[in-house]
Structure formats: C-alpha cells, structure tokens
Amino acid sequence: MLLLPLGIVLREEATLFKSNITNTSAEEQAATTPALPAVAAATKRPPAPATGCQRLLLSLRPPPRGEDYTILQALVSVDMLLLFTATVFGVGGTLTAIDNMGQIGESLGYPQRSVATFVSLISIWNYLGRVAAGFASEALLSRRRIPRPLILAGVLLLTVPGHLLIAFGVPGSLYVASVVIGFCFGAAQPLILATVSELFGLRYYSTMYNFCGTASPLGSYVLNVRVAGRMYDREAARQNAPAAAGKGVTCIGVRCYKESFLVITAVTVAAAVVTLALAWRTREFYAGDIYAKFKTETACSCSSGDDGGNAAIAGEDKVRVQVEPKE
C-alpha cells in the first residue's frame, strides 16, 4: 500500500512514453519526405530513424530548472533524489517522534494529562509552522534571494535539539521538544512542496506531490518500526517488563528511546547536509527571477488582449466611416 502511488506514477509515465514514441515516429516520417526537387530527392539519403534507446535517452534529458519536467525526468533527476532522501530521513524522524510521543511520555514518567498536552502542543505548533514557513520563506526568497532548500535545511537542523531532548530525557523537557518537533514538522511540508513546484514545474505537479508524499511514511516505517520499535522492545526485554492487558510490553526509563533518538538525530543531520547540497546545486536558479516565466506569459496574454482590443476599435471606426452618409 505504501508504494501504490509509485505504481500509479510508473503507469502514467509508461503511457506518456508510448505517446511520445508515436509522435516522434510521425514527425520523423514527415521529416524524411521534404518537398525537394526530383534530382535532389533521388540523391539525398534520408536520415536513419532513432532507435528506442536513443528515444529513451532523449526523453530523460531534463529541461532547465523551472520548466515543466515529465514524470520520468523528475524521478531520475538528481535534484528530486536529494529532496526525496532529505524528506525520508528528515521529516521521517519528526514523524517518528510524533507517533511515539505517548509512549515516550509514559516511559519518562509523565502523567496522562501531560501526554495529552504534548499532543495538543504538537498540533498547534504544526499549524503555526506551516503558516510561518510559507510567509517567511517567500519573504526571504523575494528580498534576499535565499534558496528555499537552504531554509528547509535550517528547519531540519532546528529539529535536532528536539530529538536530543527526547534522547537524554531532561526533566520537563518534553514540553519544549513537543513545540520544536511540531513546529519543524509543519514548517517542512510547505517548503518541500514549494520546492517541487519551483524546480520541476506545474504540469505534473499533482503526480510529483503524491510521489513526495510517500517519502514521509517511508521514513517513518524505517525509523519508527525498524529502529525505534526494535530498540524499545529490546530494552523492555532487558528490563523483563511484563506485558499489560491489551498492550505490549512497557519500557520505563530514559534508555527506552535514548539510542533510537540518537540515531534519528544523526540521520536528521545527514538529511540537512543533503538539503544543503540541493541548495548549492540550485543557487543560480534561485539567484534569478524564478517567476519570470509566469510574468512573461502574463505579459504576452495582456499584449494579445490589447492588440485584439485595438483591432476591434479600428474595425468599429472603419464601419462607422462606411455607414456615414455622403453630403
């Protein structure tokens, strides 16, 4: 189920690739029969048709950043690979903390009322993070030309103190960790989706949105199930913790999540480094006007409308002159 959106992406890309091959073949047939003199047509040899491998390589050649990528071009792009990796391990770590917040509070000895407070803090600051990241990143981009991936790297690095507070179990620090993790999780979402639309265009944005949406649950599965879950069960087995009715074993103490969140901290830092690499690759793109394409299209449409209006006015004047009676 986790890879179902990826299957839809591959099916759509296969259909698009077949239609491109058909169009290319038709264009090649039209190009091989030009209107030439009879002698020249008899002596000139038509160009050899492109092979399937050549067509595939041409279809994978990416356009300039900001133009409309096809789905396959985006999937094999280095920029998409870097962004997807950063999302898997960066956002996946915050999602792991959010999913385990109840057990974390229980293992550190917080009362049930405090655990409910943690959930509320995460929800509130998740919303505030989304709003703040949208406005702040747009202001920094328009005024300072700061790349949006660089802002995303800063958000991921801001998550590190929250993970460390959980790992070392400082008394009362889980309130601060809930605020930090909730804010960073919310702030990362609009930054990632805005980066996708800016780098790869809007033509297939909905498909790329679904593809990037698989990164967070994939990271949560790796870090939550394979890392945090196994380490929690191992520590609970070491403590010989009894299994409660309707629940699994319950681990008590700082060691329950210490090692797992140290691992999550390390992979979050690695995700921030990957995002910095993406910011370095796209620095020239963000140094220019990333909205120039849309401004040009708007200007062209406006000029076309003005020309049409002027032509209509000229036509009305001509008709008016023709219908005026001669004296």
DSSP readout, 229-279?
IHHHHHHHHHTTPPBPTTS-B---STHHHHHHHHHHHHHHHHHHHHHHHHH
Cα–Cα distance, 55 to 58 (Å, whole number): 5
Please, which residues bridge with residue 249 across strands? 243
For 31-96, list the strands marked E by DSSP: none
Cα–Cα distance, 309 to 311 (Å, whole number): 5
- How do the domains of the chain map onto residue ranges? 71-287
Nearest to 165 by CA among 250, 96, 265, 89: 265
Cα–Cα distance, 316 to 311 (Å, whole number): 9
**Digits of tens for pLDDT over the chain (327 positions)?**
656 666 666 677 677 666 665 555 555 555 555 554 544 444 556 565 667 677 777 778 889 999 999 999 999 999 999 999 999 999 999 999 999 999 999 999 999 999 999 999 999 999 999 999 999 999 999 999 999 999 999 999 999 999 999 999 999 999 999 999 999 999 999 999 999 999 999 999 999 999 999 999 999 999 999 999 999 999 999 988 676 656 678 899 999 999 999 999 999 999 999 999 999 999 999 998 888 777 776 666 666 655 555 555 555 555 454 544 444
Cα–Cα distance, 99 to 60 (Å, whole number): 38
| Cβ-defined contacts of 171-176 (< 8 Å, 24+) | 174/104, 174/105, 174/108, 174/110, 174/114, 174/118, 175/114, 175/117, 175/118, 175/121
215: exposed, middle or buried (C-beta count within 10 Å: 0-12, 13-18, 19+)?
Answer: buried
CATH architecture of 71-287: Up-down Bundle (1.20)
**pLDDT for 11:** 73
Distance of CA 77 to CAs 61, 65, 72, 82, 225, Å?
Answer: 9, 11, 8, 9, 29
Give, in degrees to the nearest 5, the angle at Cα 91 between 93 and 237: 20
> Global pTM?
0.79
Q: Are 102 and 304 in contact (CB under 8 A)?
A: no
Token pair belonging to 177: 């960790």
Token pair belonging to 192: 């990632």
Nearest to 159 by CA among 95, 66, 72: 95
